[in-house]
Amino acid sequence: GIQVEQSPPDLILQEGANSTLRCNFSDSVNNLQWFHQNPWGQLINLFYIPSGTKQNGRLSATTVATERYSLLYISSSQTTDSGVYFCAVGTPGGSEKLVFGKGTKLTVNP
Amino acid sequence: EAQVTQNPRYLITVTGKKLTVTCSQNMNHEYMSWYRQDPGLGLRQIYYSMNVEVTDKGDVPEGYKVSRKEKRNFPLILESPSPNQTSLYFCASSLSYSREVFFGQGTRLTVV
């Protein structure tokens, strides 16, 4: 099945810094999503982005499907950005599920 | 407000005592699924449903049952819970499996 690798596994920032999280996948996808799991365990959908670029406030994401990667950018980070960021993908003609990466744990210090 | 609602949020139970975790969505989504999240293993799909009366196994279905009698509800049933089912459970829904997914708040289950 498709493999999803996220990097870095851990990231520590000072408030106000920018960061880039990466998601590599091993096969063609028709579905790619980024999620944020906050310290209370809630999973929030950040972006549905099988291709192209999207922006939402301080966050933006780019997926280059032909090169099999996606990037999540966080600018001017805040302590509330802390948590784990997951990338999840689905494949055309594959099983009806999302395959999740292991996540990037982000800690933003004040 | 569009949402996926799970209940209960926290549950401690004993081995062998049947339990049900409810899940309901108000977005008229066709696709619903259950995941469990464990340290070091990430998120794994338990069961999914493409539509009413259509369910199928995910990656880790053993020890679980589901039903989809109505579009909005997708309960997860543990007939005889065991300690290895202690986990954080999430219900999710989307228009279809390849569309944007929305998760419930999670249910933290402990089986002693």
- Top residue of B90, B98, B109 to mutate, by most chain A CBs within 10 Å, is B98
pLDDT band with cut points at 50, 70 and 90 for residue A95 = low
Reference A103, options A80, A82, A79; nearest CA is A82
Chain A environment of B106 (Cβ under 8 Å): 41-43
CB atoms A97 and B102 under 8 Å: no
Tens digits of residue pLDDT in A54-68: 999 999 999 999 999
pLDDT band with cut points at 50, 70 and 90 for residue A92 = confident
3 state DSSP class of A34: strand
Q: Give CA–CA dist A11/A62, Å, rounded.
A: 20
pLDDT of A91 > 80? The answer is: no
- Top residue of B29, B68, B101 to mutate, by most chain A CBs within 10 Å, is B101
Q: Average pLDDT of B50-76?
A: 95
Window B:35-74, CB contacts with A under 8 Å: 42-43, 45, 48, 50, 56, 58-59
> What per-residue confidence (pLDDT) applies to A65?
93
Tens digits of residue pLDDT in A35-57: 999 999 999 999 999 999 999 99
Chain A environment of B90 (Cβ under 8 Å): 43
Q: Average pLDDT of B76-105?
A: 95
Q: Mean of the per-residue pLDDT values for chain A?
A: 94
- Top residue of B43, B50, B68 to mutate, by most chain A CBs within 10 Å, is B43
Closest-approach residue (CA) in chain A for B96: A96
pLDDT of A1 > 90? The answer is: no
Residue A56: both structure tokens together = 């939402």
Distance from CA of B98 to the nearest CA of A (A): 5
> What per-residue confidence (pLDDT) applies to A33?
96
> What per-residue confidence (pLDDT) applies to B27?
95
Q: Among A27-31, A41-45, B19-23, B78-82, where is mean pLDDT lowest?
A: A27-31
Q: Which residues contact B1 (CB under 8 A, 6 or more apart)?
A: none
User: B11 with B41: CB under 8 angstroms?
Assistant: no
> What per-residue confidence (pLDDT) applies to B57?
93
Q: Mean of the per-residue pLDDT values for chain B?
A: 95
Residue A63: both structure tokens together = 């997926």
